[in-house]
Structure 1
Amino acid sequence: MKTIHAILLLPFLAVFVTSCGDNKAAENKNTTEVIPVKLLPLNGQSAGTAAIAVSGQFTTDDETMLSFKTGGIIQSLLVKEGDAIKTGQLLATLNLTEINAQVTQAQLGFEKAQRDYNRVLHLYQDSVATLEQLQNAKTAMSIAEEQFKSAEFNRSHSQIRATSNGYVLRKLANEGQLVQPGTAIFETNGAAAGNWLLRVDLSNKQWAAIQPQDKATIEIESVAGKTFEGTVVRKTEGLNQTSGTFRADIRLNGTKPAAIAYGMFGKAIIQPAATVTATGAGPWSIPYEALMEGDGSTGYVFVTNDRKTARKITVTIGGMEKDQVIITKGLEAAGALIISGSAYLTDGSPISVK
């Protein structure tokens, strides 16, 4: 009977052993599965040398709104939109009738105060006037003098002169118009100096990938079939609330094209420098989806330094902005942040970069 029972149990034992073997094989397979992920370079590292295509408008970064110091009626506008201007050139004047009257009144007041002071001084020397009366007369004369200087200053700024060589971009008022102090009359720039910048918008990833001094190739629609060399000179450290993007300025190098104007559209290909810094300074702007857990100011993310293995680390959260989290500490030694595929990772998981 025992022999019969043993024979009957053999098929079941075989199935059980096979099932256990399959489970162990599946478990081993899961523990060695390579998870595909996407990375965001950190601390100056570049995800290769992939070029970044951007677009924007040309500017000289020195646009100036010119206005009168005083209010009044515009007497003359001596330039038009598009005119070239030189430093010190007279561009506009106010009607000076009222302003001259104010200067004359201040001058007469100052002259009277001088006479009063001299009279009191003589009386004081003759012991007729007191020291207090002399001091009051001197104070009144000083006040009248300053009022006269102020009136002359306002008259000298009742005209507009060019602050630099450039062009008139916009004329914002007309002759005969009554304007208040500080009302913009002209918008000018220093385009004559050739300091052209291509101001471009950047996404979070593009902003993280580029650095000042990165090289760029620029295309200008008005100069078909030709490209120009440029250099990234700056990138903003905050989000532009109007456009919801970051910005960078690319300066044109070498000979500047003649067929270029303020506001003209341009394209550029930025080549990020494939350099690595020893340490990061922070703070870092990372996508929301990269933050796996959070408790107050503490959170967890996955990073990699060898692009083969994921590491789970603790970070300090400094704040939240549109579509991003600000990290102030924890990413100093990280080469790249894992921003896609984190939900399937554990500490030490093997990864492949998409």
Structure 2
Amino acid sequence: MSKRIILSGIVAAIAMLGLSCSNTQEGNNSIQDDIIPVKLQALEQGSSGSTIKASGAFTTDDETVLSFKTGGVINRMLVKEGDPVTRGQLLATLNLTEVNAGAEQAVLAKEKAERDYQRAYRLYKDSVATLEQMQNARTALDVARQQLKAASFNKNYSEIRAAASGYVLQRFANEGQVVGPGTPVLQVNGAGSSNWLVKVGVSDKQWASIRKGDPATVQSDALPGQQLPAQVYKKSEGIDPSSGTFIIQLRLSSSAPSAVASGMFARAEIRPRRKTAGTWAIPYDALLDGDAGKGYVFVSNDGKTAQRKEVRIGDIRRDKVLITGGLENCRYLIISGSPYLNDGSRIKVK
């Protein structure tokens, strides 16, 4: 009787052992099958990945406000707003009655100074005049010559000529109007040379990330469907008091279409190429549980195992998140399948 009981116990134990092994094998098979498919993205440290959007207006780098060197009455205005002009073209003149009178006075003063000097020189040779008297006469002659030169210069600049081929943007005065020296009369640009720029305003943070030569694209409602390639040409070194922004000048990489005019509204997208050490731009969907400047992501170094990492959030944009720490020494970022992962989960790259 006791032998039967012992034999039955041994058989039961063997059966339980076999069942246990079977369950273990099934569990192992289940673990083997629990591999989560994911998508990976290589982490590139130092790329901000940001695009700066700004608005502004078309302009040229040679817009000039023209005026007369001397004051007087405007005699002729030969152009109107919108007129094309060529380099050296006469645009406006003053009434030269007063200017010519001043120039003639300078000529007469020079002739008198020459006579006085010749007389003083002969008297000095005859020991009648002193050396000082002769020298004073020579100085008076030099002064008269310089005054004549100044009068001739003012006469030449009593007319306005175009400095470059372009268009008349504004006309500030009319014929018969009295203007003083330097009073704005005309504003012209050099659009005839296709030197078109787009001036946009950006914030101080955006200004700091932009460098000369960064690529950009320009669009306008007047040019539907067109994207004009451009690049950063200049950066202002001070804030614009009228707009409260920093001005960035974008130069078009190719000739502007004929539909472009000075002052036309434009939208620009600037892509800074500056690399910022210790930053990563990651897709928004890859960030988990973002809160108070920190969040979590899943990374992988071998493409087979997922690791949960806490990261510091620098900035959140529409489709990207700027990470400023936590991804050091990580090779790949998991950008798909993160909600199904745990720290140490096995993964399979799609």
Q: Please confirm whether the aligned pair reaches a TM-score higher than 0.5, indicating the same fold.
A: yes
Partner of 2:137: helix, strand, or coil?
Answer: helix
Structure-1 separation of matches of 2:188 and 2:310: 54
Structure-2 separation of matches of 1:205 and 1:120: 73
Aligned to 2:224: 224
Query: RMSD across aligned C-alpha pairs, in angstroms?
Result: 3.0
Structure-1 separation of matches of 2:90 and 2:229: 37
Structure 1 unmatched runs, 5+: 1-43, 279-301, 311-336, 341-348
Aligned to 2:62: 62
Structure 1 residues 182-209: Cα deviation after superposition (integer angstroms, max 9, x where no partner): 1111011111111111111112333233
Aligned to 2:203: 203
Aligned to 1:130: 130
Alpha-carbon distance, 1:211 to partner: 2.4
Structure 1 residues 272-327: Cα deviation after superposition (integer angstroms, max 9, x where no partner): 3263579xxxxxxxxxxxxxxxxxxxxxxx9xxxx9566xxxxxxxxxxxxxxxxx
Structure-2 separation of matches of 1:102 and 1:191: 38
Structure-2 separation of matches of 1:186 and 1:277: 50
| 1:46–1:272 contact (8 Å) kept in structure 2 | no
Alpha-carbon distance, 1:178 to partner: 0.7
| 1:309–1:350 contact (8 Å) kept in structure 2 | yes
| 1:46–1:209 contact (8 Å) kept in structure 2 | no
Aligned to 2:32: none
Aligned to 1:14: none
Partner of 2:259: helix, strand, or coil?
Answer: coil
Count of residues in Structure 1 that have an aligned counterpart in Structure 2: 250
1:113 and 2:126 are equivalent in the alignment = no
Structure-2 separation of matches of 1:62 and 1:216: 22
Matches within 5 A, 1:182-331: 182-273=182-273, 275-276=275-276
After TM superposition, the score normalised by the length of structure 2 is: 0.65
Alpha-carbon distance, 1:237 to partner: 3.1
The amino acid that maps onto 1:248 is I
Structure 1 residues 187-243: Cα deviation after superposition (integer angstroms, max 9, x where no partner): 111111111111111123332333222211211222212211111222223322322
- Go from structure 1 to structure 2 and tell me whether the alpha carbon gap of 1:194 and 1:277 turns closer, same or farther (over 3 Å shift): farther
Aligned to 1:169: 169
Partner of 2:185: helix, strand, or coil?
Answer: strand
- Go from structure 1 to structure 2 and tell me whether the alpha carbon gap of 1:125 and 1:209 turns closer, same or farther (over 3 Å shift): closer
| 1:54–1:201 contact (8 Å) kept in structure 2 | yes
Alpha-carbon distance, 1:117 to partner: 1.0
Matched residues, percent identical?
A: 50
Partner of 2:240: helix, strand, or coil?
Answer: coil
Structure 1 residues 314-344: Cα deviation after superposition (integer angstroms, max 9, x where no partner): xxxxxxxxxxxxxxxxxxxxxxx9579xxxx
Structure 1 residues 42-85: Cα deviation after superposition (integer angstroms, max 9, x where no partner): xx9543x2322221101112211111111100000111111111
- Go from structure 1 to structure 2 and tell me whether the alpha carbon gap of 1:115 and 1:277 turns closer, same or farther (over 3 Å shift): farther
1:144 and 2:144 are equivalent in the alignment = yes
